[in-house]
Chains A and B, each alone.
Chain A
Amino acid sequence: MPRSALSLAASYAALELRRTLRDPQVVVFLGFPVVLYPSLIWGVSELAQLEQGRYDRETYVVAADAPLTELLEGHERLELVSRSRSSELDEGTVDATAHLREPTEVQIDFLAARPRSVRAAELVEEAVDVRRRSILREHVAAAGGDPEVLGGFAFDDAIVGELSQLMSWVMGLLIGAIGPLAMLLSGVYPAIDLFVVERERDTLETLLVSSVPRGVMVAGKLLACATLMLVASLANMGALGLSALHVTRLAFHESAWAQWPPLLVWPMLLATLASASLLCATVLMASLVPARTYKEGEWITTTVLFGSFPLLGVAIVGLMTGAPSPWLWAVPFAHTILAVAAAPTGELALWQAALSVTTDVLATSILLALLWRSPGPQGLLAGAWRPPWLDRLLGSS
């Protein structure tokens, strides 16, 4: 494409972006994740802490055998009742039951689906253990020994390796699973607006009679759509990454921080996402050729979204194996997920990014070449003939 056509396509893309970004629906699509993930994570963690605080303050009713009642007596948060019927737990009159089976074996029954019951069982277990140690100490002291020998080992949980690396790995898993999918999801509405809604309203004729070549218009719309998808994926991944960081800090250590990926990873990741956005925008544009109305556009793009799920599955299998086989890096969409997942830990290799970009660019070029032959730029803009079965499927005839 000559330079003037490229700059014309860029100007045209800018027009489309300006127009599309004024659509509240597009703005919601782009802004939603930025608000959604942090608020969701914040809300859940606050709720979890609140619940934890409540459980830590509450008193639990435990039905226990006589020997155990002696052991647990005096525990400030356990209300002990004698064990009478086995159905007490199911009825909810007690939170857990405890039964001494052997001198050193305690059976604790609880309902796993009821958090109160789980917490009660944990408390009984802790209390029995503490009490047993205390009795043993008394016995050792009475026999003239040193009770400290029963103190056992002091354990200090330490994760082998860098904690920041582990946090980055968790972040990678989360943003890898969601980011590329969000890219596709976020592109749906702009693509329908750019290609189908233009056909529905009366602006297409105005546009087609302007002296901008059809090919440039297609390129401009494609560029606008791909840009929006790229921005949406970055917004999603940024918001999700920060949220994931918050979660991992809560889970591991509040002062911990994920590792910062090496500088080289950023351009590689950006190139991978940009080429993926272009391919996704081209796929959406191609799929929307037969659509004449917004409704039909929605129907078709929903099918495309579901169609992408097997590729998502392929990538997830790759992630779960820990070391995805090299050929996975040549599978469009799947390799984007792998690249995004590998980026936070800095494990995204140059050959992997290069292979991802190359296959995406190649797939985009082949698809565009096919589309340029049929239905051609005019058909891509104005829509094209479709078989009667598709008419019936879309409910238009």
Chain B
Amino acid sequence: MPSPALVADGLVKVFPGPQPVRAVDGVSFSALPGEVFGLLGPNGAGKTTTLRMLVTLLTPDAGRASVAGHDVVSQPDAVRASVGYLATTTGVYGRLTAFEMIETFARIQGVDTPRKRAEELIERFDLSDYRDQRCARLSTGNKQKVSIARAIVHDPPVLVLDEPTTGLDVLVAQTFLGFVEEMREAGKCIIYSTHIMSEVERLCDRIAIIHGGQVLATGTLDELRQQTGEHYLESAFIRLVENSGASS
């Protein structure tokens, strides 16, 4: 069995303030290369905070995590070089063209032939017609394509996708899901955060259901069905959340 490409072990994050918020409370899971690992949970469950710790945007208050064998706290630069992150928003520079955006990130990520790589990705994501258009003028779908191209420009072994289909129309979302499947085939480890059940059912090899900053259950779709006695993922999810509310 291959060693995990990503490991989260007891991650804790508390946001200080007059009433401190324990956004993530002991989250643990691991994901293998060539696996799509789903983080499923409602808004405010702690998914994004967990992902932000994994990509070094936030420092965990407790616990540890590693990406491609690099510790997120002690080796943040190595972690960033190994991960492609797609945030909930597209995060493109409006004043750069689609090509410039991808080429620039190829350059700063240390890709040997940045222009060639950018051309490849423009072709791959069917952006040739919008190559020289400024990102501010692109449609949401095309912005998301640019953003994905930017995230994978350095060919990272781990992809962290945070609610990537939010705001996309059905057709673009389908294309995107196809891309995720392709990445899995290429052996990438993909952490896929969402609250859309159908996407999880289609894509994820294993799932962690997260609520109130805690992982309620982890396993394959079948394992979750068996654990909850529910056939549909949505019902299983609701059962787990209700049980956690009853137990707390």
Residue ranges of A at the interface with B (Cβ–Cβ < 8 Å): 8, 11-12, 15, 18-19, 22-23, 202-203, 205-206, 208-213
Contact = CB atoms under 8 A, between A and B. Distances in A.
A11 B100 CA distance: 13
Contacts of A212: 108-109
In this complex, the member of A23, A202, A203, A209 whose beta carbon has the largest number of chain B beta carbons within 10 angstroms is: A209
B81 A211 contact: yes
B108 A210 contact: yes
B131 interface: no
Interface stretch (B31-39, B91-99, B202-210, B212-220): B91-99
A202 B95 CA distance: 14
B77 A205 contact: no
A208 B107 contact: no
A8 B91 contact: no
Given A19-B96, A209-B56, A8 B108 contact: yes
Given A15-B104, A211-B109, A205 B96 contact: no
B83 A209 contact: yes
Contacts of A211: 77, 80-81, 108-110, 154
Given A211-B80, A211-B81, A213-B77, A205 B108 contact: no
Interface in B65-88: 77, 80-81, 83, 85, 87
B242 to A, nearest CB: 33
B162 to A, nearest CB: 9
B27 interface: no
Contacts of A18: 96, 100
Nearest to A22: B95
A209 B85 contact: yes
B141 to A, nearest CB: 16
B55 interface: yes
Contacts, number: 55
A203 B94 CA distance: 10
Given A12-B108, A208-B56, 18 more contacts: A8-B108, A11-B108, A15-B104, A18-B96, A19-B95, A202-B87, A202-B91, A205-B87, A205-B89, A208-B57, A209-B55, A209-B83, A209-B85, A210-B80, A210-B108, A211-B108, A211-B110, A211-B154
B93 A19 contact: yes
A15 B57 contact: no
B125 interface: no
21 contacts: A8-B108, A11-B107, A11-B108, A15-B108, A18-B100, A23-B95, A202-B87, A202-B89, A203-B91, A203-B92, A205-B57, A205-B89, A205-B91, A206-B92, A206-B147, A208-B56, A209-B85, A210-B80, A210-B109, A211-B77, A211-B81
B150 interface: yes
A213 B81 CA distance: 10
B101 to A, nearest CB: 10
Interface residues of B, number: 26
Interface of B: 55-57, 77, 80-81, 83, 85, 87, 89-93, 95-96, 100, 104-105, 107-110, 147, 150, 154
B87 A206 contact: yes
Contacts of A203: 91-93
Contacts of B56: 208-209
A211 B87 CA distance: 16
Nearest to B52: A205
Contacts of B105: 210
Contacts of B89: 202, 205
A18 B100 CA distance: 10
A213 B108 CA distance: 10
Nearest to B104: A15
A86 B95 CA distance: 69
Nearest to A15: B104
5 A-B pairs with least C-beta separation: A202-B89, A206-B91, A211-B81, A22-B95, A209-B85
Contacts of A15: 104, 107-108
Nearest to A4: B110
Instruction: Tell me which of A18, A210, A213 has the highest count of chain B C-beta atoms within 10 A of its own C-beta.
Output: A210
A202 B167 CA distance: 15
Contacts of B91: 202-203, 205-206
B244 to A, nearest CB: 29
Nearest to B55: A209
Nearest to B107: A11
